[in-house]
Amino acid sequence: MKFSLSWLKYFLETDASVEEISARLNAIGIEVEGIENPAEKLAGFRVAKVLTAEKHPQADKLQVLTVDTGEGAAPLTVVCGAPNARAGLVGVLGLPGATVPANGMVLKVAAVRGVESNGMMCSTRELELGDDHDGIIELPADAPIGTPFADYHGADPVFDVSITPNRPDCMGVYGIARDLAAAGLGTLKPVEAPRAEGSFPCPVEVRTDDPAGCPAFYGRVIKGVTNGPSPEWMQARLKAAGQRPISALVDITNYVMLAFGRPAHAYDLAQLNGAVVARKAQDGETVVALNEKTYTLDSTMTVIADDSGVHDIAGIMGGEHSGCSESTTDVLLETAYFDPAHIASTGRKLNLTSDARQRFERGVDPQFLDAGLDLLTDLILRLCGGEASHVIRAGTPPSGAKAVAYDPALAATLGGVPIADERQKAILESLGFSVAADWTVTTPGWRCDVAGAPDIVEEVVRIHGLDNIASAPLPRTDGVARPTATPSQKLERRLRRAAAARGLNEAVTWSFLPQDEANHFADGNGGLWTLANPISEDMKSMRPSLLPGLLSASRRNVDRGADSLRLFEIGRRYLRGEHGHSDERLSLAVLLAGDRTPRGWASGKAAPFDAFDAKAEALALLAEAGAPIDNLQVMGEAGAQFHPGQSATLRLGPKNVLARFGMIHPATAKAFDIDVPVAMVELFLDAIPGKKGAATFARAHYAPPALQAVTRDFAFLVGIDVAAGDLVRMVKGADKANIVAARLFDDFRGAGVPEGHKSLAIEVTLQPGEKSYTDEDLKGIAEKVTSAAAKLGAVLRG
């Protein structure tokens, strides 16, 4: 929310500086996100007078001006194309070095069609002071020549504050001024509009047929108005708040909303037909709103309608058809109280936000209906003229006030700071609360957020000063603190360190995905979790896998020139469990894209990543996670996102999949617009079985063996379809007492190898115990190895 300093001081009598006001706002819980100083934007622009204006010798539509800058120096030559440029005109000159606010252009001395120009005479649009661009600014003839334009125009700082959802009273400048006055930064000025009783009965019937959605609906007609531009002071305040001035009638309703947090609406009476009613919409009814979009309504939504149809999405946005225009002469003013829950529900369904919705769904003061109508009436009669009717009231607004039993001692016991009873009473009364002798505190209508004694403590303490609360250390038990990390957290930390040590860079991607990307990785997991009210369409579905987030990250990096990517991410994937319950699973994903090694004089061409690189990462990280990698089986069916001939899964048994890895499928690469080789890994950490006794038995200390290990090589002929990993696993398990490791070091297919076969060479590491091996020992172990390999049809190669 934005407001200018002058607007704040219209309601608050104070001499405080911008810095003091900003500091006090932050101290009482109204966060200042920024302060804009228009003087900074207008630096380099000054009031100047055109002395002469002659036709440009090389252009029909340009003039060559001599301009007096008021500095006592020689006049400057300026080329100008404005039709109203003439001798004697007093305007605004941008000097070389100044930055034009509208487009960021830095002015400099330059030749325009052969004539040197030393700056620019500016229009209101160029200085972001209005929309007029038909000519340059014309100031009064007595404007002081040479004065910086920021000083002449008035530099009014603008505050940009963040209002938390529990403070609807501060959704207007007056509410912020009230808080600052309570905090001792000035005196709040009372604002009371004269009560206009009206001179004739209201000619329009106003009623509410939806008391749940619209408990109260007030209105009155003002005839004979003249709708034109609003006055400069009102336009300046609206512009400071980020609003575009439209016309006096529209600007007045916006002004009251921004000043007092009270949305209202003005209808062109000529566009209405019959009674104006707050009612439920009918399923399928449509309305064209002021944003020129058509909305289809349903029977849960409250609307304002007449005999012709819907004119207003109640409490959110008015209709285009019945809005005020320059030709409006008679208006119906509407102030109403709409139920916050109904407003929030309608806004979510229509995906429609507005300033009015923000205020109504947080909760406006239900007792401000008459006062708001008086303010609107007074402004319209003063600025647009006309004659007001009697007020017509339909329904009854809720009181809004609550009586809360309060104990002043809670400030110390709950708030942490003792505050004198008299001081607490003064703070509450300055905020609009009433305090009885027995400390029953009655809340004002604009504080719907206060529901009990703790809320009152918060009000008292924040105005008294949060910095007055003394810091108190939490009690700590003597000795070494017990570890608080869960096993899952410890696993994440260990894997994160291991992945980083392997040269992978951690990525953190959104848990939400575009629906098409999520569908690409759904894999029939019971359907996706799709948000009914997403932040955007690109964040609509919960991710069923971490891989699509890494693929999108790789695309962004490749598009920016990265030629080698090594990314990993640890996080949750979200699946639909039984009975539609959410099922969160801990996973680790790795993505390798582009070149594994760059081109060079020794290696020649760059070498891309392949499926074996992905497998190496999967095995290394599974080992770090405590998975029994020696017992893993390599099987297919990695998923439709992987290349079927260059991917696999790692499993414990036929069903328990611990990981999948491989190259991405061409269709996946196309779906994510990736044109470099990409290998992926996904580890399902929730599928890794826990170690038996891990919680009760400590790890044995490391004791190196006394005797040196022995290696023996075996070359087997096996069928072409036999997986090397299966043979290695079979060999290693042939004699667990002696064989400590086995690895494949050669895969040969060529001369001397029968067709349909391959030669696999395996290095077996043997570790003797208390004594060295004899020849008979080694022979017996070799027989066990060949017997185990024979179960897969392998024979020793001659």
Q: Which domains does the chain carry?
A: 2-37+157-188 (3.30.56.10), 40-153 (2.40.50.140), 206-395 (3.50.40.10), 403-467 (3.30.56.10), 487-687 (3.30.930.10), 710-796 (3.30.70.380)
Residue with tokens 């801990």: 586
How many residues appear in the chain? 798
Contacts of 473 (CB under 8 A, 6+ apart): none
Phi, psi of 764 (to 5 degrees): -110, 130
State the Cα–Cα distance between residues 230 and 235, nearest whole angstrom.
6
Q: Is the separation of the CB atoms in 230 and 252 below 8 Å? A: yes
Looking at residue 698, its pLDDT comes to 46
Q: Mean pLDDT, to the nearest integer, of 777-794?
A: 92
Q: How many CB atoms lie within 10 A of CB 657?
A: 18
Q: What percent of the chain has pLDDT over 90?
A: 67
Model confidence pLDDT, tens digit, residues 605-642? 888 999 999 999 999 999 999 898 888 888 888 889 99
The better pLDDT of the pair 376, 706 is held by 376
Mean per-residue pLDDT, 581-601: 87
**Residue showing tokens 């405080």:** 16
pLDDT in the model for residue 482: 74
* pTM exceeds 0.85 for this model: no
For 90-104, 254-268, 680-694, which range has the lowest pLDDT when averaged over its residues? Answer: 680-694
Q: What is the mean pLDDT of residues 346-373?
A: 92
With beta carbons less than 8 A apart as the criterion, state whether 391 and 336 touch: no
Q: How far apart are CA 798 and CA 725, in angstroms?
A: 22
pLDDT score recorded for residue 472:
82
Predicted local distance difference test score (pLDDT) of residue 388: 94
Asked whether the predicted pLDDT for residue 327 surpasses 70, the reply is: yes
For 6-52, the pLDDT digits (tens) are: 999 999 999 999 999 999 999 999 999 999 887 788 889 999 999 99
Task: Please give the angle made by the CA atoms of 617, 700 and 743, to the nearest 5 degrees.
Answer: 35
Is residue 160 annotated as involved in ligand binding? no
Strands (E), 385-533: 387-388, 392-395, 403-405, 434-435, 440-442, 505-506, 512-513
Q: Any idea which residue has 């997403």 for tokens?
A: 534
459 annotated to bind ligand: yes
pLDDT of residue 155 exceeding 80, the answer is no
Task: Supply 314's token pair.
Answer: 């109640």
What is the overall mean pLDDT for the chain? 90
Q: Does residue 153 carry a pLDDT above 90?
A: no
Give the span between the Cα atoms of 767 and 765, in whole angstroms: 7
When pLDDT is cut at 50, 70 and 90, the band that residue 524 belongs to is low
Contact between 220 and 51 under an 8 Å Cβ cutoff? The reply is no
> What pLDDT shows up at residue 46?
92
What does each C-alpha distance from 144 to 43, 48, 130 come to in angstroms?
17, 8, 22
Q: Output DSSP code: residue 40.
A: H
Question: Nearest 5°: phi and psi at 181?
Answer: -65, -40
Which amino acid, 531?
L
Note whether 201 and 390 are within 8 A (CB): yes
Binned at pLDDT 50, 70 and 90, residue 525 comes out as: low
As a dihedral over the C-alpha atoms of residue 594, residue 596, residue 599, residue 604, rounded to 10 degrees, the angle is -120
Stretch 306-323: mean pLDDT, rounded?
A: 90
- The neighbour count for residue 365, using CB atoms within 10 Å, is 24
Under 8 Å between Cβ of 249 and 318: no
Give the per-residue pLDDT at 505.
95
Whether the predicted pLDDT of 760 surpasses 70: yes
Reported as a single tens digit per residue, the pLDDT across 205-226 is 999 999 999 999 999 999 999 9
What integer pLDDT is reported at residue 692 of this predicted model? 58
| Tokens (6 digits) for 538 | 């690109």
Q: Is 595 annotated as a binding residue?
A: no
Cα 401 to Cα 370, 398, 441, 448, 450: the distances in Å are 17, 9, 10, 8, 9
The whole-angstrom separation of Cα 678 and Cα 553 is 12
- pLDDT above 70 covers what percent of the chain? 97
Q: How far apart are CA 796 and CA 611, in angstroms?
A: 29
CA distances from 404 to 147, 411, 731 (A): 58, 15, 79
Q: Does position 695 have pLDDT exceeding 80, yes or no?
A: no
Range in 373-382, 387-396, 419-428, 485-494 with the lowest mean pLDDT:
485-494
Q: pLDDT class for 577, splitting at 50, 70, 90?
A: low
- 117-140: pLDDT as tens digits: 999 999 988 988 877 778 999 999
- How far is 518 from 627, CA to CA, in rounded Å? 29
Structural contact between residues 176 and 22, judged by C-beta atoms closer than 8 angstroms: no
CB 27 within 8 A of CB 49: no
Question: How confident is residue 700, by pLDDT bands cut at 50, 70 and 90?
Answer: low
What pLDDT, on the 0 to 100 scale, is given for residue 528? Answer: 80
Beta bridge partners of 718: 758
Distances in Å between the alpha carbon of 148 and those of 51, 133, 144, 369, 619?
19, 22, 9, 45, 71
Place of tokens 């008021």: 70
Taking 50 as the threshold, does the pLDDT of residue 697 lie above it?
A: no
Calpha distance 424→435 (Å, rounded): 10
